[in-house]
């Protein structure tokens, strides 16, 4: 039988939160809408055929991490938000081996009409 290799990923798109993060004092006071898109790779040894939540990543856990980070200490950069979310995914989700976090500040305070601006951070680790 031919060898097969699978990559298993769980994703959550469009997690929107209103939070008080931003570069200027005004941004931190007024707040902004942020959108998070997360993709998490599940360890290769986990079987999805068993239909067990223990073999994957719970979407609710990902949303809770975003909510915890955005409700926490105010930061100036979306890059910092992405790093904090990624750190908690690595720390708290034992079946995760890679994650990609995209953070968009919706309607950022820049010249012109801009729908969103943000940052993407991706990391892989060994378990």
In this prediction the pTM is: 0.92
pLDDT confidence of residue 46: 63
Share the mean pLDDT of the chain: 92
Q: Is the pLDDT assigned to residue 49 strictly greater than 90? A: no
Is the confidence at residue 51, as pLDDT, over 90? no
What is the spatial distance between Cα 49 and Cα 52, in angstroms, rounded to a whole number?
A: 8
Q: What is the pLDDT of residue 126?
A: 86
pLDDT of residue 3: 74
Residues 6+ apart with CB under 8 A from 127: 43, 94, 97
For position 50, what pLDDT does the model report?
A: 72
Structure token pair of residue 5: 């290799």
Residue range 69-119, pLDDT digits in tens: 999 999 999 999 999 999 999 999 998 999 999 999 999 989 999 999 999
State the CB neighbour count (10 A cutoff) for residue 37: 16
By CB atoms closer than 10 A (0-12, 13-18, 19+), residue 27 is middle
Per-residue CA distances from 40 to 10, 16, 26, 71 (Å) = 5, 18, 34, 22
Q: For 41, what's the count of Cα atoms within 13 Å in the CB-facing half-sphere?
A: 15
Please tell me the predicted confidence (pLDDT) of residue 56. 84
- All structural domains of the chain, each given as residue ranges with its CATH number in brackets, are 8-124 (3.30.1130.10)
For 24-45, what is the mean pLDDT? 91
């Amino acid at each position: 039988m031919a060898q097969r290799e699978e990559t298993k990923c769980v994703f959550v798109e469009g997690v929107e939160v209103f939070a008080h993060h931003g570069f200027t004092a005004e941004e931190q006071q007024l707040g902004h809408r942020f959108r998070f898109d997360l993709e998490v790779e599940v360890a290769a040894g986990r079987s999805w055929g068993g239909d067990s939540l223990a073999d994957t990543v719970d979407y609710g856990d990902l949303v809770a991490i975003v909510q915890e980070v955005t409700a926490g200490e105010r930061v100036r950069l979306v890059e910092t938000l992405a790093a904090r979310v990624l750190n908690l995914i690595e720390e708290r989700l034992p079946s995760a081996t890679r994650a990609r976090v995209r953070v968009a500040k919706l309607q950022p305070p820049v010249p012109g009409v801009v729908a969103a601006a943000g940052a993407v951070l991706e990391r892989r680790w060994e378990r």
